Amino acid sequence: MHYRLILPALFVLSLLNARAQDFSIQPLPDLLITEMRQKNVISTQAPVQPERLRLLNLTYFDFEGKEKDGQLVVLDACAESVVSIFRELHARRFAISKMVPITEYDGDDDRSMADNNTSCHNFRPVAGSSRLSLHSYGTAIDLNPIQNPYVILRQEKATATYLPPASMAYANRRLVRIGKAYRAGMAEEVVDVFARHGFYDWGGNWDSPIDYQHFQVDREVSYLLAAMSPEEAHGFFLLQKSFFNEFGSPLEALLKQHSHGLSLSEKYAQDPDEFMSWVMAIQRIR
C-alpha cells in the first residue's frame, strides 16, 4: 500500500519534469561554445557572439512518428518565437528528420543538408558569395533539406541544380498526388506557422535560387536585432511580429519608406531612444 501511494506520485512528478524540458531555452553551455570555436561555427569576427545566442531544447516527431529530442542555436531575440514555432509543428505532428547543432558537422552546411538536418546558427557566407548568411545571426532556419531543396536555376543553360542531390526527388512540390503516397516534411505545409512567429521571409518565394528549406527574419531586421541590446531586440522582434500578424505586411517595409535612405541599424545607431520613438510614430501612420 505504501509503494502504491509513493510510486504514482514519483511517476507523475517525473512526467511533469519531462514536459518542462521538452521545450526550453538556455544560454549556450561553455562546452558547446568551446566546440563552436574549435569548429569555426563562431569566431571573434562573427556579428553575433555566444552571449547573444540561445540553445533551444525541442521535441519533434520523426518520419516514423516517433518523438525525438532536438536542439537549435538561435539569436536570443527570437528564441521564444522559435520555441512557439516548434511547439506548433509538434502539435501538428509535422515530420522532422533530425535536429542537431551544426557543430556535429564541423560547420559544414553541405554535410548537414545531406544528412537532412534541420538547423539554424552557423557563421558562414551565403553560398557562392562573400556576404554573410543570416545563419551567422541565428535568424535563419533550414527545415528538412532533403524534402525542401536549395535550387540553383541557370536560365542561360536551362538547368537546375538541386542541393543536397537527394532532394531532386522532391522537385515536384505537390503535397498530394493522385496514386502516390502523401509526402511528409515539406515546407509548404508550415509556411503559415513560421510567418505567424516572425519568420515570414521564406526562400520558397524567391526566384533564383529557390530555397524551400529556408525561413528567415528580414536581413535589415537581423542587422538591427544584432545591434540592439537583448531587451530592445526582443521587444522589437515582438513588435514586428505582431505588426505582420495584424496587417499582413512587414513593419520594416513601412519603416524603410521613412528612413531617408538609412538602413534601420544606421538609424538606430544615431540615437537608440529616438529610434524607438520614431518606430512607434511611423507604426501609427499605418
In a domain, 91, yes or no: yes
In a domain, 46, yes or no: yes
* Average confidence (pLDDT) over 50-64: 98
In terms of domains, do 212 and 235 share one? no
Q: How many domains does the chain divide into? A: 2
In terms of domains, do 135 and 264 share one? no
Domain boundary among 157, 182, 217: 217
Q: What is the pLDDT of residues 215-253, one digit of tens each?
A: 999 999 999 999 999 999 999 999 999 999 999 999 999
* Average confidence (pLDDT) over 37-53: 96
In a domain, 2, yes or no: no
Q: What count of Cα atoms within 13 Å lies in the side-chain half-sphere of residue 252?
A: 24
Compute the mean pLDDT over every residue in the chain, rounded to the nearest whole number: 91
Range of the domain at 269: 230-285
Domain boundary among 217, 243, 267: 217
Report percent pLDDT > 90 for the chain: 82
Report percent pLDDT > 70 for the chain: 92
In a domain, 9, yes or no: no
Residue 60 has pLDDT above 70, yes or no: yes
* Average confidence (pLDDT) over 64-86: 98
In a domain, 54, yes or no: yes
* Average confidence (pLDDT) over 178-185: 90
Q: What is the pLDDT of residues 249-268, one digit of tens each?
A: 999 999 999 999 999 999 99
Residue 182: predicted pLDDT: 86
In terms of domains, do 149 and 238 share one? no
In terms of domains, do 207 and 234 share one? no
Domain boundary among 187, 217, 247: 217
In a domain, 271, yes or no: yes
In terms of domains, do 69 and 157 share one? yes
Residue 9: predicted pLDDT: 44
In terms of domains, do 62 and 148 share one? yes
DSSP assignment of the chain, as one string?
-HHHHHHHHHHHHHHHHHHHHHSEEEEPPHHHHHHHHHTTSS-TTSSS-GGGEEEEEEEEE-TTS-EEEEEEEEEGGGHHHHHHHHHHHHHTT-B--B---GGGGTT-HHHHHHTTB-B-----BPTTSSSBPGGGGT-EEE--TTTS-EEEEETTTTEEEEESGGGGGG-S--S--TTS----S-GGGGHHHHHHTT--EEGGG-SSSEETTEEE--HHHHHHHHHS-HHHHHHHHHHHHHHHHHHSS-HHHHHHHTSTT--HHHHHHH-HHHHHHHHHHHHHH-
- Cell numbers for 151, please give them: 535550387
Strand partners, 125: 132
Residue 17: predicted pLDDT: 43
In terms of domains, do 265 and 213 share one? no
More confident residue, 126 or 78: 78
Q: What is the pLDDT of residues 97-122, one digit of tens each?
A: 999 999 999 999 999 999 999 999 99
Residue 171 has pLDDT above 70, yes or no: yes
In terms of domains, do 208 and 238 share one? no
In terms of domains, do 134 and 89 share one? yes
Residue 144: predicted pLDDT: 98
In a domain, 276, yes or no: yes
In terms of domains, do 61 and 200 share one? yes
- Cell numbers for 69, please give them: 529530442
Q: What is the pLDDT of residues 5-14, one digit of tens each?
A: 334 444 344 4
In angstroms, the CA 25 to CA 199 distance is: 18
In terms of domains, do 198 and 260 share one? no
Residue 186: predicted pLDDT: 97
In a domain, 1, yes or no: no
The band of 282, judged by pLDDT with boundaries at 50, 70 and 90, is confident
In terms of domains, do 68 and 161 share one? yes
Residue 54 has pLDDT above 70, yes or no: yes
Residue 21 has pLDDT above 60, yes or no: no
Residue 90, phi then psi, degrees to nearest 5: -65, -45
